[in-house]
A and B are shown apart, each in its own frame.
Chain A
């Protein structure tokens, strides 16, 4: 069986959207696939030494707002907080972010940093979009070691021969 290939584009930098590329990439590599992720625009900061991705339920009515502590009936409550309050309350994003991190931890999901490390351990290749780096003012030293720096053509060359191509 020929080696299957997967090409991902990680374009989003919020905590919720940081998970899918790393989860899919590590799972694919575990299934003997060759995987490359092209980090571009807001996805690029996911390659920084420390990932400080945040999440906000503001303007995202699909995001459940539950508490990761207390009895089960309490954890199942979906706190329907109006956008006007979310937008006006200082620290709302950092609260939502820590709640999501705690919920994921409680459910046994690895942190984004852990998943990223696992990806590298199983051979997933990370490509940082050079153009986005120049636009946002990032330098190579801002990022974790072991990644490559390239542009769209380099990624597309790999994607053209891939079995799976996803834009996240």
Chain B
């Protein structure tokens, strides 16, 4: 996959459940269809939570990265 153009970034590092999902939801709500949100968190529970959130709300996850205990999610606004 080529480079993803990020429209907005969200830092959820250090936050526990359910804050990363909530902040992601709020950020997505301020964006327009097709835009991409980059969210970084350290909550390992997000590995299950983010896909569930994505399935339920219909905002697809384009890509996921993991580095040094940080999880980076690229989410496209539906």
Task: Spell out A's residues near B (CB within 8 Å).
Answer: 1, 4, 23, 26-27, 29-32, 104, 107-110, 118, 121-122
Q: Is the CB of B56 within 8 A of A32?
A: yes
B16 CB contacts on chain A under 8 angstroms? 104, 107-110
B57–A122 touching, CB < 8 Å: no
Chain A residues whose C-beta falls within 8 Å of the C-beta of B42 in the assembled complex: 108
- Cα distance A107–B25 in the bound complex, in angstroms: 21
Let me know if A110 and B56 touch, CB within 8 A. Answer: no
Q: How many residues of B contact A (CB 8 A)?
A: 19
Task: Enumerate the 5 nearest inter-chain pairs by beta-carbon distance, A residue then B residue, closest first.
Answer: A30-B25, A27-B18, A108-B16, A109-B16, A31-B56
Q: Which residue of A lies closest to B13 (CB)?
A: A108
Please count the residue pairs between chain A and chain B whose beta carbons lie under 8 angstroms apart in the complex: 46
Q: Please pick, from A23, A104, A122, the residue contacting B25 in the complex, using a CB distance under 8 A.
A: A122
B19 an interface residue at 8 Å Cβ cutoff? Answer: yes
Among B17, B24, B52, B58, the residue within 8 A (CB) of A23 is B17
**List of A residues within 8 angstroms of B26 by Cβ:** 121-122
- In the assembled complex, which residues on chain A have CB atoms less than 8 Å from the CB atom of B53? 30-31
* Alpha-carbon gap, A26 to B53, bound state (A): 12
If A107-B16, A108-B43 touch, does A27 touch B22 (CB 8 Å cutoff)? Answer: yes
Nearest chain A CB to B20 CB, angstrom units: 9
Q: Is B15 an interface residue (CB 8 A)?
A: yes
Interface residues of B in 1-49 (CB under 8 A from A): 14-19, 21-22, 24-26, 42-43, 49
